[in-house]
A and B are shown apart, each in its own frame.
Chain A
Amino acid sequence: MVEFRKATEKDLQSLVELNVRLKRLNEEFDPLLRVRADIAERSREYFVEALRSPNSLVVVAEDNGKVVGFIKADIRERTFYEPRMEGSIVEFYLLPEYRRRGVGANLLDYTVKLLKEKAEIITAEFPTLNEIAVEFYTKLGFRGIISVYARESP
């Protein structure tokens, strides 16, 4: 049985490991997302900060006491647009054997409910070339609103 809950300091090591996997997967999708050598340290700092911040939310999926996936989301104010408060899913990773079983959609659902306490619009960020994410979010009723483009060579 996979269960969802808010992450705590105790999940830090698992979050770091899963985040490293996530960034390496991003690198597989796109060479412009080449992973830094200090990815683990940076991940640790990133989650320490996120767990402390009132404007971040970290949620984990747990199976028999083991963290098997997570979502990290940020609450932001949109300076120019309405609705003003945005809940943005910025990191999302699930171990391979928990995919294609609805666990991801349920984890997202759980996170969105929490985000809705503070935010009116829910967004998600992921690499453009990650077609699996495109399909996942499209199925759940999301669509693209902003694009980030990079030049291949400066």
Chain B
Amino acid sequence: MSIPVWHDDQLGTAAATLAGLFNALKITGRKLNRSRIVLLGAGAANIATARLLEKAGADMSKMILVDTRGILHAEREDMDELMLKNPWKYELGLKTNREKRSGDIPEALRDADVLIAASRPGPGVLKKEWIKSMAENPVVFLLANPVPEMWPWEAKEAGAAVVATGRSDFPNQVNNSLVFPAVFRGVLDIRAKTITDTMVLHAAWALANYVPEEKLTPDYIIPTMQEWEVYVHVAAAVAEKASEEGVARRPMTYEEELVNARNVIERARKVLISLMDLKLIKPFPQVD
């Protein structure tokens, strides 16, 4: 069927993660293709993150995946089993970790520039001393919900230069809600036949670039949901890429979708706000 399909646990999380990572790399003066990236947890989110990182130009031979059985490498005992049961992880087992490092989280993190943890709720999944063994000023994403793999202040105390979590009550929320509404806006407006990985990657770049470099700080690497204009820009980037790739039934340029998406989103916001003013619907719940 030629319709756009979206697996949010994979693509939504992966795109938000990449957006945050691009800016975290800028702040810490790193290049993606030279960074040692460790992915902790090899579920839907990190498998997609690995795939998109490859598309974005990461050096897969330096990347290390860690799952419940420890570090993944081409000669791990369960590789044949993975070949039959989880071909995606199998492929990553062949592509990543060229030095065939074995062991568990501590061995994986030694000298790593970036940790993207999407494993299991903490705290206590990660130890401070492991973060200390990473390269100088490392980037640490702790994406388990509702409690990150370790508390963000613990990671900072251990030397992390930039820390992101999945939570709205800490800085740098890697939030799939920043991605999917905008991607949907873009793909629906241009009547996309499919959603390609490059479209998702462009969504991530647009999300990252929405934060101007002079505003980037270790506590602000990714926009928040309150910055609704970001959706307009991400939608336009997705529509533009889809049109370039020939998967748009009604192609649009970046500028065309920028105007179109802004109109649609602005109108929806106005309707919502007036309905709340008229007390016809409840106001947003206050989260603290």
Interface residues of A (CB under 8 A from B): 21, 24-25, 28-29, 95-97
- List 14 additional contacts besides A28-B85, A97-B74; criterion CB under 8 Å: A21-B80, A25-B80, A25-B81, A28-B80, A28-B81, A28-B84, A29-B84, A95-B74, A95-B75, A96-B75, A96-B93, A96-B94, A97-B75, A97-B94
Main secondary structure of the interface of B (DSSP, over half): helix
Q: How far is the CA of A95 from the CA of B94 in the complex (A)?
A: 10
21 A-B pairs with CB atoms under 8 Å apart are A21-B77, A21-B80, A24-B77, A24-B80, A24-B81, A25-B80, A25-B81, A28-B84, A28-B85, A29-B84, A95-B74, A95-B75, A96-B75, A96-B79, A96-B80, A96-B83, A96-B90, A96-B93, A96-B94, A97-B74, A97-B75
What 7 A-B pairs have minimum CB-CB distances, sorted nearest first? A25-B80, A97-B74, A96-B79, A28-B84, A28-B81, A97-B94, A96-B74
Q: Which residues of B contact A97 (CB under 8 A)?
A: 74-75, 94
Q: Which residues of B contact A21 (CB under 8 A)?
A: 77, 80
- By beta carbon, the residue of chain B nearest A132 is B83
Q: How far is the CA of A29 from the CA of B81 in the complex (A)?
A: 9
Q: How far is the CA of A136 from the CA of B75 in the complex (A)?
A: 22
Q: How far is the CA of A28 from the CA of B93 in the complex (A)?
A: 18
Q: Which residues of B contact A24 (CB under 8 A)?
A: 77, 80-81
- By beta carbon, the residue of chain A nearest B78 is A24
Q: How far is the CA of A104 from the CA of B194 in the complex (A)?
A: 37
Within 8 A of A (CB), among B57-88: 74-75, 77, 79-81, 83-85
- By beta carbon, the residue of chain B nearest A98 is B74
Q: Which residues of B contact A25 (CB under 8 A)?
A: 80-81
Q: Which residues of A contact B84 (CB under 8 A)?
A: 28-29
Q: How far is the CA of A28 from the CA of B85 in the complex (A)?
A: 9
Q: Which residues of A contact B83 (CB under 8 A)?
A: 96
Q: How far is the CA of A21 from the CA of B78 in the complex (A)?
A: 9
Q: How far is the CA of A25 from the CA of B75 in the complex (A)?
A: 13
**Min CB gap A94→B, angstroms:** 11
**Min CB gap B93→A, angstroms:** 7
Q: How far is the CA of A59 from the CA of B74 in the complex (A)?
A: 22
**Min CB gap A51→B, angstroms:** 24
- By beta carbon, the residue of chain B nearest A26 is B80
Q: How far is the CA of A29 from the CA of B79 in the complex (A)?
A: 14
Q: Which residues of A contact B79 (CB under 8 A)?
A: 96
**Min CB gap B39→A, angstroms:** 19
**Min CB gap A136→B, angstroms:** 14
Q: Which of B74, B80, B84, B85 has the most CB of A within 10 A?
A: B80
Q: How far is the CA of A95 from the CA of B81 in the complex (A)?
A: 13
Q: Which residues of B contact A28 (CB under 8 A)?
A: 80-81, 84-85
Q: Which residues of A contact B80 (CB under 8 A)?
A: 21, 24-25, 28, 96
Q: Which of A21, A24, A28, A95 has the most CB of B within 10 A?
A: A28
Q: Which residues of B contact A95 (CB under 8 A)?
A: 74-75
- By beta carbon, the residue of chain A nearest B76 is A96
Q: How far is the CA of A62 from the CA of B165 in the complex (A)?
A: 46
Q: How far is the CA of A74 from the CA of B75 in the complex (A)?
A: 28
Cβ contacts B27-67/A at 8 Å (1 or 0 each)? 00000000000000000000000000000000000000000
